[in-house]
Structure 1
Amino acid sequence: MSLNTALSGRSLPGQQNKGYEMKTIVICSGGLDSVSLAHMVAQENQLTGLVSFDYGQRHRKELDYAALCAVRLNVPHDIIDLRSIGAVLSGSALTDDIDVPDGHYAEESMRVTVVPNRNAIMLSIAFGVAAARGDQAVATAVHGGDHFIYPDCRPAFTQSFEVMQKYALEGYAEVALYTPFVHRTKADIVTAGQEHDTPFDLTWSCYKGGTDHCGRCGTCVERREAFHLAGVADPTPYEDPDFWADAITAKVAS
């Protein structure tokens, strides 16, 4: 039984599920989504550790926030070095010397941020780690807002991946894939994060990696919009705090 099924109807935000705890590792980038997920799993299940990946992304700032999350939740944190793999997954603004586009996350221009098979690669490694350590689930924070751009964030992929891993580990381990946000919005994640005491100011989303969030790249616009839609105060300092509204207006008008 998958963790999604095991907790169906029982893992509402803010509720405890102590009768259905599963040993779970969380793939944590240090962003709002994965840090909120880590806090959620820590409260509702048995969080055994965080796994992060250095794939040669534009900056390592987000990994620092993942490390802070692990310390805060008192769990081990492993950073897997995938830089040699990332070096050959060329053509992305996240790994190559290509400008990160500004605008809404659902703009066609944001496809330049795709790193081919990134989630598939990370999940495969995380499942191996979980199996080796005796964990029962791997949790990842893919969500509905990712579906337009990233193929390996869509429900069809996550469902198929879990089936594939069942066969890959058959007779050795049973590891489920937990994707509680895959049919939910970024605003829903903000709501869940707040209800699970996530310190949003200790998360990093911006692709550009400056001193503050730029406020203009797709992840910044999506982050700012999510807080607005959730009705939650956004503690994030942005270099351009008003750009998000214009970006959304432009997207709606297009």
Structure 2
Amino acid sequence: MKTLVICSGGLDSVSLAHITANEHQLTRLVSFDYGQRHRKEVDFAEAASRRLGVPFHLIDMRGIGAVLSGSALTDDIDVPDGHYAEETMRITVVPNRNAIMLSIGFGIAVAQGDEAVATAVHGGDHFIYPDCRPAFTRAFDAMQQAALDGYAEIRLHTPFVEHSKAEIVRQGARHGTPFAQTWSCYKGGEVHCGRCGTCVERREAFHLAGVSDPTVYADPDYWTEALAARGQS
């Protein structure tokens, strides 16, 4: 199955790219510049495309991102520290981001003759990000079948949608994902901060998966404090 992968450069999407390259026919990686607070992860996505020998498409969505305001990922708002929690991580929601990106991905897939669009949404994001939930992915796939009816048949591929991040680490490791060549941190410093929700989730996922974490963190031990605090709340 000729498959386009939406790839941010993070652990989940780069793992998906490597898995897809092994199990299907990976055709291209597509990333988006929506005016996010840093572009470090985009560089990791482009590096993944070179490593896997497929074209890389960077879509300029800065004009759209400028009006999707109110998120710590796009505006000058502090990124919260600690484990994912609805009351703190809601500030990292970019309105309708996945729906917009997937629509563009489907358009590219049709134009380039691909058969599927793959995205790395996963179970750990369900309670915070509505456009990562199974109900959304099912509805979006059905909408695209209607939008392309009689013209093209492209399927939405979401292999992680019911999986934890730890399971993504396990699968990524089995398929040779170079985890050190992925970027998760929302803050975009010289190294992963170790304190934001994505860093804590990343560190915990390696621990639960029983896979060695090659990531350099500015605060490598904070994740245990964050998990303890969550358990007490």
TM-score normalised by L of structure 2: 0.99
Deviation digits for residues 32-53 of structure 1, max 9, x if unmatched? 0000000000000000000000
Question: Matches of 1:181 and 1:103 in 2, distance apart?
Answer: 23
Aligned equivalent of 1:126, options 105, 113, 137: 105
Aligned partners of 1:54 and 1:79 also within 8 Å: yes
The answer to whether structure 1 residue 195 and structure 2 residue 174 are counterparts is yes
Aligned partners of 2:3 and 2:24 also within 8 Å: yes
The answer to whether structure 1 residue 184 and structure 2 residue 163 are counterparts is yes
What is the deviation of 1:253?
Answer: 1.1
Partner of 2:38: 59
Structure 1 counterpart of 2:230, one-letter code: K
The answer to whether structure 1 residue 165 and structure 2 residue 151 are counterparts is no
Aligned equivalent of 2:78, options 99, 109, 121: 99
Partner of 1:6: none
TM-score normalised by L of structure 1: 0.91
Question: Matches of 1:112 and 1:44 in 2, distance apart?
Answer: 36
Aligned partners of 1:107 and 1:251 also within 8 Å: no
Partner of 1:219: 198
1:124-163 paired onto structure 2 within 5 Å: 124-163=103-142
List 4+ stretches of structure 1 deviating above 4 A: none
Question: Matches of 2:77 and 2:227 in 1, distance apart?
Answer: 23
Question: Matches of 2:66 and 2:231 in 1, distance apart?
Answer: 36
User: Which secondary structure does the structure 2 equivalent of 1:104 belong to?
Assistant: coil
What is the deviation of 1:107?
Answer: 4.4
Deviation digits for residues 51-99 of structure 1, max 9, x if unmatched? 0000000000000000000000000000000001000001000000000
RMSD of aligned alpha carbons = 0.5
Question: Matches of 2:211 and 2:60 in 1, distance apart?
Answer: 35
What is the deviation of 1:105?
Answer: 1.4
- How many equivalent pairs are there? 233
User: Which secondary structure does the structure 1 equivalent of 2:128 belong to?
Assistant: coil
Question: Matches of 1:130 and 1:247 in 2, distance apart?
Answer: 40
User: Which secondary structure does the structure 1 equivalent of 2:173 belong to?
Assistant: helix
The answer to whether structure 1 residue 80 and structure 2 residue 59 are counterparts is yes
The answer to whether structure 1 residue 41 and structure 2 residue 20 are counterparts is yes
